[in-house]
Amino acid sequence: MAIEIEKPSVGLSKVAESETHGEDSPYFAGWKAYDENPYDEVCNPSGVIQMGLAENQVSFDLLEQYLEKHSEAPNNNGSGFRENALFQDYHGLLSFRKAMASFMEKIRGGRAKFNPERIVITAGATAANELLTFILADPGDALLIPTPYYPGWRTGVNIVPIHCDSSNNFEITPQALEAAYEEANSNNMKVRGILITNPSNPLGATIKRSNLEQILDFVIRKNIHLVSDEIYSGSSFSPDEFVSVAEILAQRNYENSERVHIVYSLSKDLGLPGFRVGTIYSYNDNVVTTARRMSSFTLISSQTQQLLASMLSDASFTDNYIRTNRERLWKRYGMMVDGLRRIGIECLDGNAGLFCWMDLKGLLKEETREEELRLWKMILHEVRINISPGSSCHCSEPGWFRVCFANMSEHTLQVALTRLRDFMDTNFAS
């Protein structure tokens, strides 16, 4: 007999009961629809195709080949097991931090250098961003973030949007920066910093060097911080397309670098989200020290660090992986945008990431959020494709959608494009 539990009357914290977790947004509603009826080429060919998941599977075979060739677990002897099993300090393994620094340098073509002593290990990039937010700002303070952007976190810090729009391909302008700063001030919020994602999620485009210069000049002038989330840095289609803020600092001889902090992870470029491996790289000694003290809440296992230290220290593997992964992402991006263009759908010009920023404004009866969500529901339930509406990414212009292309086979991508073509022919043929 099942035990019935009464609905709890005891209260929970404001954090627990807030809506900042985002589970009620269309982003997660689409996931639920997919989970209930997932597409499978053989077992469920009429199911929902998941194109709302920014996951990199195009080069997973390279990881599998490496692990098959190096199947012996590193230091799998008695002493190695003991070292992994017993307590590790919050610095993380030095071998892993050295390998991570080297990998980050290689992704940037050697144009930036990273000191392993400044790397703080976290359980993924989300944990890294949240940890930095705890350190840089108090509840009630503000961070400025360019729109559109990925959903937020639970620290009690206010997010004030830097409004960007399609008139200049969503580039960040000095006027938009100043307007967001003044908006925060007018609402009695103390601005603590700017958080950018470069390359952008959901735009799938890198931030230009000139824009980075303007942003850095702005935070220096306002005496605030800059957090640069560079989780997609190795997923730019060409090594020359991406400019890291670390390169700008190097060119300026690291003047005012103490206000700059870089977030990175292996979840996107290396396609290992399940490993939960992220890093904070800060040029501020106090931030590094504090982040290490607080990182006890977000540590990753020594076994994971040791495996990845071995993999990332293999120069022949990392050279081949970075090059091949970029080539495959570029090919897959081309398949996506060319296929959409053939059925009359355009995307923002992209040069990075695992997704396209798709323009469906022409399919809206009127440019409202409600109309955008109506179209999204049609695509989810009639076409059986889960994509992310722009409003779930805080886009102020209705009609934009993020569509992911790297988490499926080429065959599944073609099935999705065929479904979209049939949808367009049935509902919007001229």
* Distance from C-alpha of 202 to C-alpha of 229, rounded to nearest angstrom: 13
The residue from 229, 248, 300, 385 that is catalytic is 229
What pLDDT score does 77 carry? Answer: 44
Examine the residue annotation and report whether 150 is marked as an active-site residue of this protein. yes
Helix crossing, 315-342 with 60-69: angle to 10°? 160
What pLDDT score does 19 carry? Answer: 66
What single-letter DSSP state applies at residue 157? P
* Distance from C-alpha of 317 to C-alpha of 102, rounded to nearest angstrom: 13
The residue from 268, 280, 322, 385 that is catalytic is 268
**108's tokens:** 């940037």
* Distance from C-alpha of 409 to C-alpha of 41, rounded to nearest angstrom: 10
What pLDDT score does 88 carry? Answer: 67
* Distance from C-alpha of 153 to C-alpha of 351, rounded to nearest angstrom: 27
Which residues, in sequence order, are bridge partners of residue 49? 385
pLDDT tens-place values along the chain, 430 residues long: 566 666 667 888 777 666 665 566 777 788 888 899 999 999 999 999 999 999 999 999 999 999 888 876 555 444 466 666 665 666 788 889 999 999 999 999 899 999 999 999 998 888 888 999 999 999 999 999 999 997 666 678 899 999 999 999 999 999 999 999 999 999 999 999 999 999 999 999 999 999 999 999 999 999 999 999 999 999 999 888 899 999 999 999 999 999 999 999 999 988 888 888 899 999 999 999 999 888 878 888 888 888 898 899 999 999 999 999 999 999 999 999 999 999 999 999 999 999 999 999 999 999 999 999 999 999 999 999 999 999 999 999 999 999 999 999 999 999 999 999 999 988 876 6
- 261 within 8 A of 227, measured Cβ to Cβ: yes
Examine the residue annotation and report whether 229 is marked as an active-site residue of this protein. yes
The residue from 27, 34, 150, 232 that is catalytic is 150
What pLDDT score does 244 carry? Answer: 96
What pLDDT score does 124 carry? Answer: 85
* Distance from C-alpha of 178 to C-alpha of 411, rounded to nearest angstrom: 46
Between the two ends of the chain, the Cα-to-Cα distance in Å is 61
| Secondary structure element (H or E) that encloses residue 146, with its range | strand 142-146
The residue from 194, 231, 248, 262 that is catalytic is 231
